[in-house]
Copies of this chain bind each other. A is one copy, B any other.
Amino acid sequence: MIPGTRRRRHRHEKVTLSDVAQAAGVSAITVSRALREPEKVSPALRETILRVVEQMGYVPDMAARALASKDSGLIGVLTPGLTSYAFIAVMRGIEDRVRSTDLRIQYANPGDGRNDDGRKLRFFFSQNPAGIIYVGLQHDSALDDLLRRAPCPVVEIMDVSHAPAEMAVGIDHRLAAEAATRHLLEQGYRRIAMLGASWDNRSKRRLEGFQSVLEAEGLFDPSLVLSIDSYTSVGLGAHLLDRLLSDHPDADAAFCHSDDLALGALFECQRRGRSVPNEFGICGFNDFDYAGVAFPSLTSVRLPRYEIGYRAADMLIRATGGGRQAPTVVDLGFQLIARQSTARNAPKGPTG
């Protein structure tokens, strides 16, 4: 009753394997087997043991298990985009694939900016992971080396535009950007801007694609490439479009590095009374769920994000069993989804 006088909890003398063994009248190893390889224990014993386990509320100590078996059952997912909307679908894919196994997932954010991917990777290695899913920002040779000598299988995901250390699943971001840019050209836009948030590997690839297509037409203007190094967001999209139109009122379209930027751009156009798609075309990237629901709906590039996650986990799980194979690259492909926001001269421009 008297506050502050509560006895400390957190004391629960931990139930160990030998406790269970003793209670069940068998040796520790038999309990261990009953839990992990039930078929190697006689049915009768097995049942007894499992009952005792249940009764005593025994839970294996993962640290001890990992130490003894050199297998943590841990899949490490390492990405700077951990807290990004785009990564949610990837996580779902990974989780769904892993759910039926007894592996666990540990996410880690290698910290923004600084080149400490190496540190984080090393750290992961120190946990005897069963596998690692890695989303690289940069890709210098030191990192490549590190991945190559990883103590477990590694799948690099999202981008497949360069040879992976071992396995990779994703799409070719350069090609995706080319397709989007070409689409804008086909719709008759000429002063096309690019709105982006950060300049990681993939963004750079997209810029390359964007630039090459426009340069071929003599239409590339570097001053139409806008970015701020911060979290991508709808608000940022509005801000960038505002800047774009203030400085370059003649810009007539934007290819955005993500749909949230595109949505922000759309709102800003509406606010300025600039008709989308007739006076301004918008193409996003990622095909987030709202792209198809927006009014007008947003043209975007669909990435199979869920599938990338699912497939990566799948490859990892398979690789865990067998030995090493030669480098494997899986390109899951993208899809340009043309919608109203670039449908110039379409039946009816919804906005302006």
> What residues make up the interface of A, taking CB atoms closer than 8 Å to B?
3-4, 6, 8-10, 12, 14, 57, 59-64, 66-67, 72, 82-85, 88-89, 91-92, 95, 99, 104-109, 111, 122-123, 125-128, 148-152, 233-235, 237-238, 260, 263-264, 267, 270-271, 289-290, 292-295, 323-326, 350
The residue on B at minimum CB distance from A88 is B83
Q: Which among A67, A150, A263 has the highest number of chain B CB atoms within 10 Å?
A: A67
Alpha-carbon distance between A111 and B292 when the two chains are bound, in angstroms? 28
Nearest Cβ in chain B — how far from A270, in angstroms?
4
Q: List residues of chain B with CB within 8 A of the CB of A123.
A: 59
Q: Is the CB of A293 within 8 A of B238?
A: yes
Bound-complex Cα distance A26 to B348 (A): 80
- Name which residue of chain B comes closest to A236, CB basis: B289
Residue of B nearest to A62 (CB): B127
- Report how far A14 CA is from B294 CA in the complex, Å: 54
Residue in chain B with minimal CB distance to A260: B290
Query: Judging by beta carbons under 8 Å apart, are A325 and B4 in contact?
Result: yes
Copies of this chain, tallied across the complex: 2
Closest chain B residue to A266, Cβ basis:
B295
**Would A99 and B111 count as touching, CB distance under 8 A?**
yes
* A238: chain B residues within 8 A (beta carbon): 293
Q: Decide if A83 touches B91 in the complex (CB within 8 Å).
A: yes
Given A264-B290, A295-B267, A10 and B235 contact (CB-CB distance below 8 Å): no
Determine if A270 and B295 form an interchain contact, defined as CB atoms under 8 angstroms apart.
yes
- How far, in whole Å, are A66 and B63 apart by their CA atoms in the complex? 6
